[in-house]
Amino acid sequence: MTSTNDIRRSFLDYFEGQGHARVPSAPLVPHNDPTLMFVNAGMVPFKNVFTGLETRPYSTATSSQKCVRAGGKHNDLDNVGYTARHHTFFEMLGNFSFGDYFKEQAITHAWTLLTREWGLSPDKLTATVYHTDDQAFELWKKIAGLPEERIIRIPTKDNFWAMGSDGPCGPCSEIFYDHGDHIWGGPPGSPEEDGDRFVEIWNLVFMQYLQENDEIVSELPRPSIDTGMGLERVAAVLQGVHDNYDIDVFKALIAESGALTGASTTGEHQASHRVIADHLRSAGFLVADGVLPANEGRGYVLRRIMRRAMRHAHILGAKEPLMYRMVPSLVAEMGGAYPELVRAQPLIEATLLQEETRFRQTLANGLKLLDEATSGMGEGDTLSGETAFKLYDTYGFPYDLTEDALRPQGMAVDRDGFDAAMKRQKDAARAAWKGSGAKASDDVWFDIAEELGGTEFTGYTATDGEGQVVAIVKDGARVEKAGQGDEVVILTNQTPFYGESGGQMGDAGVISGDRVKAAVSDTSKPLGRLHAHQAVIESGELAVGDTVKLAIDVARRDAIRANHSATHLLHAALRNRLGGHVTQKGSLVAPDRLRFDFSHPSALTAQEIADIEAEVNAEIRANEAVSTRLMTPDDAVAAGALALFGEKYGDEVRVLSMGRQTDKRYSVELCGGTHVRATGDIAVFKIISESAVSSGVRRIEALTGEAARLWLADRDAKLREVAASLKTSPDEVAARVVALVEERRKLEKELAEAKKALALGGGAGAAAPAGPEQIGGVNFVGQIIDGLDPKALRGAVDEAKGRIGSGVVAFVAVNEGRAAIAVGVTDDLTGSLSAVELVKRGVAALGGQGGGGRPDMAQGGGPEGNNGPAAIEAVKGALAEEKEAA
C-alpha cells in the first residue's frame, strides 16, 4: 500500500521534476488576507502572485498546503465525524503556474500523474468543464482520450472557482474518480451526483479574472493555473478504500484512541473516534502555527474544535484527559512532512492537557444540565436558546457543541433564542458599564468593543500582516473616513501591534494600503480588548472597511522584546541573590531601556549588583528557547510561576518560561507581553543604576542589546579620553588617579604651609618680612592672605603673635569671594585690649555680623571678600581708639 506520506512526496517529486519550485506549506494563519480565518486552499498563499501584486523567483510551483475549514465562511466543523470526506484539517496538493503554462499543460500534467505515475485506470476517471469552455472540452478529448460522455459540461458555479467575493477566479475542470457501482451515486451533473460513488479528487482552475464584490472586474495579468487535490481523498483512492477515515493516517490515529479508551472503533463509537482523529490534527497544527485557545477570534475556533473532540473523548468513556496522549502518534504520522509539528510537540501536549483538564471539570456539570433540560424532549424537538446560552455562559459549551450533543437524538437548538439571550447579556453589561461611573470619553471604546468584539492580536508570532479597518476614531468620536494630516485612532479586526499593557510599551509602525499611508506612533489597549493604533494619515485616505497592511517597527519591537525578557531574568536573579521577599512592584519596558521596581529594604551593594548582572548574562548566553503555555492561574503557580498577588487574572494565563532547566526553568512568570525566541537574543544585560523609589522599594534601570553595547562603548570612549588627558593608558587610569589625588593632597598641604609662612613674613622663598607697625605704641601686624584655608588662620595668627612677642595681629583669609578674619592679642595686652572687640570691627567691614572668641584670639567672617584691606584698616582704627581712650 502506498502511504499518505509517499503519495504526498510523489506528487511533489513529480512536479519538481517538471521544473516547479517546491514551496513549503504556509502557516495556517493567513498573512495576506485579514478576513480569512485560516488558509483553506492551496492557492491562498499565492493570491498576490496571481494578481501580480507580488513576484516570486519562480513562475511555477508545487506545494502540499495545510488547510483548516472551521469557522468563517468555509466551516465543516459540524459535519466532521458523520461523513466520509469532511475534515476540519486537510492537506491540499497543488501545482501552480503564474503566467507560465495554461490549460493544455495543466491537463497534461494531471493526466500523466494520475494514469502513468500513479497507475489509475483511465476508465475510472471523469472530467467536468465549465459549460462554455469548449477549449477545455477539446483538450480532455485530445490529451486524455476521454470519450465525450465522460467530459461533462457543468453550467453552475461548481465549475467556476473563486477564492472569495474578491480575488482571482476562473472556470475550472474537476476530475472525478469512480469508486464503483457497489456504492450509490451518479456522475457529476446527474440527479444522483450527491451520492458517494463519484468523488472529486482534483480541481484544475484556469485562473483568468479578478473579482470584486462577486463581479469580474478585470483579467489577470496573465492566464494562470491553480490546482487542488485533497490528499486524503486521493490517498483513499490509491489505498483502495472509499472512506477518507480508512486511510493509513486516520487508521493509526483511530487505533490509538481505541487503544487509549478501550472503546471499539466501529459501531456506535465510530463517529467519536473520527472526530477525535480529525480534531487532533487541526488542534496540533494550529498550535504549531502559533494559535492558542482563546475566547475570541482564531483562538476561539481552536477552542471549539478542542472541546468538541474532548466531549467525544468523554462519550468514549475516557477517564482522564485523552487528546494530549495522542500527540506522539500524530507526530509519528505527520512530523516527517511537517517539522513544525515536531518542534511544537511539547506545546501541543501541554495546551491539550490544560484545555482538557479544565474542560472535563465543567463538562460533567454541563452535560447534567443538558440531560435535565432534554429529559422531556424527543426527536424533532428544539432545546431553548436560553438553556444553550446558559451552557455557553456558565459551562463554556460553545453553541455548536450543544448542537452536536443533541444531534444523535434528532434534536435541534433554538439559535434565535440563543442570540437573543446573548444580546440581553450584552445589554446588561452596557447598563452596568454606564452605571459604573466610567469616563464618558471611554464610551466610544465600549461601544466599539461591544459592537465589533475585541481585536485579535497576531503579534506573538507575526510582525506584519493584513487587517480590515473596523473603526476610525477622531477627536473621541467615530468617523467613516480620515484624510491626509488627520490624527486618528485606527482599529482593525486583527493586528500585530502590541497595545501598551503590563509595563510594555505599545508598538509603533506603519499602516498602509493601496491609497493610504499612516504612521503609527503608539498603540494603546482600551478596555484591555481593543488595540488602538494612534496614527497620523501621512498621505491618501482611509475608510472603514479598507483592507490595510500593518507592519510594526521590527527593530523597535525586537529591542522591547529583549528588554521584556531581561526583566524576567532580572526578577529571577534578584530573588536568587536577595531572597524570596523580592517581588515586582512595577516595571517599564521601553525600546531603549528597562526599569524594574521591587521590594527590598536596603540599597544593593556593588557586589550584589555585579553578581545579579553576571547571573542574568549567564542565562542569556545559555540561549535556551523561551516557551509560552496557557494555564489556569493555579496550574501556573504549581508549575513554579511567581504569583503576583493583588493582580487580577482571568481563568487563563500565559505562562512564560525562560532560562535553563534545573528542577524548574530559571524563570517562570505569568505574562501577556512579547518576548525573545531564545535568551541569546537579549545579547547583553547591563545595570546602569540602582536607587530608592520609596521606603522598601528599590529600582534598577538596565539596558540590553545594542543600547547596552552603545552605553559600554560610550563609557569606554570616556575612559580613553580621560586616559589621554592623563597621558596614560585606560588600564593605568585608576592607579594614576589615585596617585594624582595623593599628590594633590600633598600639594595642598604644602601650599597652605607656604601661604602661612608668607603671611608670617618668612619661610623659604617668601618676600622679606614686613616689620610690625606701631599703632598707639602697640606692635601691629595685619595681612590679607588669598586662598589660605580659614582653618589655618588661627594657627597663623598664633605663630605671628609668638614672633612679635607683644602686640596685635589681624589676618584676613580670602576664599572664593568670602573672607575670614582672625585677630590675636598677646597675653600681656589682654588686660587693656580685647581681640573680640577688635575683630567685630573687621567683621563689619567684611559685610558680616558678630565675631567672637576670647580676649586673646577672636574670629569672624563676611561675604565681601574684596574688603580685606578695609577690614585691616577697621581693626587698626579700633586699636587706635582703644589706645587713645586708655
Least distance in angstroms from the C-beta of 468 to ligand SER:
22
Contact 642, 583 (CB under 8 A): yes
- Cα(286)–Cα(293) distance, integer angstroms: 10
Least distance in angstroms from the C-beta of 63 to ligand SER:
10
Quick check: helix, strand or coil at residue 105? helix
Least distance in angstroms from the C-beta of 6 to ligand SER:
22
Nearer to ligand SER, 205 or 411 (CB): 205
Rounded (to 5) percent helix, strand, coil in the chain: 45, 25, 30
- Cα(793)–Cα(370) distance, integer angstroms: 100
Mark the binding-site residues for Zn(2+), compressed into ranges. Answer: 564, 568, 671, 675
Exposed e or buried b per residue across 343-370, where buried means at least 16 C-beta atoms within 10 angstroms of its C-beta? ebbebbbbbbbbbbbbbbeebeebbebb
Beta bridge partners of 840: none
Mark the binding-site residues, compressed into ranges. Answer: 564, 568, 671, 675
Nearer to ligand SER, 74 or 575 (CB): 74
Nearer to ligand SER, 63 or 534 (CB): 63
- Residue 271: half-sphere exposure toward Cβ, Cα within 13 Å: 16
Nearer to ligand SER, 25 or 455 (CB): 25
- Cα(516)–Cα(541) distance, integer angstroms: 5
Nearer to ligand SER, 43 or 283 (CB): 43
Nearer to ligand SER, 228 or 385 (CB): 228
Sheet with 685-694: strands ordered across: 584-589, 594-599, 697-704, 685-694
E strands of 626-681, at which residues?
A: 627-631, 653-661, 665-670
Nearer to ligand SER, 11 or 324 (CB): 11
Nearer to ligand SER, 202 or 598 (CB): 202
Least distance in angstroms from the C-beta of 107 to ligand SER:
14
- The residue with cell 502540499 is 64
Least distance in angstroms from the C-beta of 534 to ligand SER:
39
Which cell numbers in the block locate residue 679? Answer: 535568551
Q: Residues in the site for ligand SER, rule: CB under 6 A?
A: 41-43, 94, 161, 203, 205, 226-228
Residue by residue, DSSP assigns 386-400 as: HHHHHHHHHH---HH
Task: State the pairing for strand pair 487-492/60-68.
Answer: unpaired
Least distance in angstroms from the C-beta of 66 to ligand SER:
13
Q: Which of 439, 462, 463, 452 is nearest to 490 (CA)?
A: 452
> What is the enclosing helix (H) or strand (E) of 533?
strand 532-543
* In the complex, residue closest to ligand SER by CB: 228
Least distance in angstroms from the C-beta of 172 to ligand SER:
7
Least distance in angstroms from the C-beta of 242 to ligand SER:
21
Nearer to ligand SER, 61 or 778 (CB): 61
Q: Which of 870, 854, 876 is nearest to 772 (CA)?
A: 876
Least distance in angstroms from the C-beta of 213 to ligand SER:
20
- Cα(541)–Cα(539) distance, integer angstroms: 7
Which cell numbers in the block locate residue 27? Answer: 502557516
Nearer to ligand SER, 203 or 272 (CB): 203
Least distance in angstroms from the C-beta of 152 to ligand SER:
17
Nearer to ligand SER, 54 or 743 (CB): 54
Nearer to ligand SER, 207 or 316 (CB): 207
Nearer to ligand SER, 62 or 826 (CB): 62
Least distance in angstroms from the C-beta of 41 to ligand SER:
3
Q: Which of 530, 484, 538, 486 is nearest to 509 (CA)?
A: 538
- The residue with cell 553576571 is 614
Nearer to ligand SER, 78 or 158 (CB): 158
Helices within 490-545 (DSSP H only)? none
Nearer to ligand SER, 203 or 458 (CB): 203
Helices within 678-789 (DSSP H only)? 705-725, 733-759
Least distance in angstroms from the C-beta of 92 to ligand SER:
6
Least distance in angstroms from the C-beta of 203 to ligand SER:
4
Least distance in angstroms from the C-beta of 173 to ligand SER:
11
Cβ-based burial of 40 (10 A; exposed 0-12, middle 13-18, buried ≥19): buried
Listed in sequence order, the residues at least 6 apart from 562 whose beta carbon sits closer than 8 Å to its beta carbon are 676, 681, 682, 683, 704, 705
Phi, psi of 26 (to 5 degrees): -75, 160
Listed in sequence order, the residues at least 6 apart from 387 whose beta carbon sits closer than 8 Å to its beta carbon are 369, 370, 373
Residue by residue, DSSP assigns 768-812 as: PPPPPEEETTEEEEEEEEET--HHHHHHHHHHHHHHHSSSEEEEE
Least distance in angstroms from the C-beta of 43 to ligand SER:
5
CA distances (Å), 363 to each of 202, 315, 414, 632, 635, in order?
41, 11, 21, 16, 19
Phi, psi of 289 (to 5 degrees): -95, 15
- Cα(497)–Cα(510) distance, integer angstroms: 10
Task: State the pairing for strand pair 89-97/464-474.
Answer: unpaired
Contact 642, 545 (CB under 8 A): no
> What is the enclosing helix (H) or strand (E) of 595?
strand 594-599
Contact 94, 65 (CB under 8 A): yes
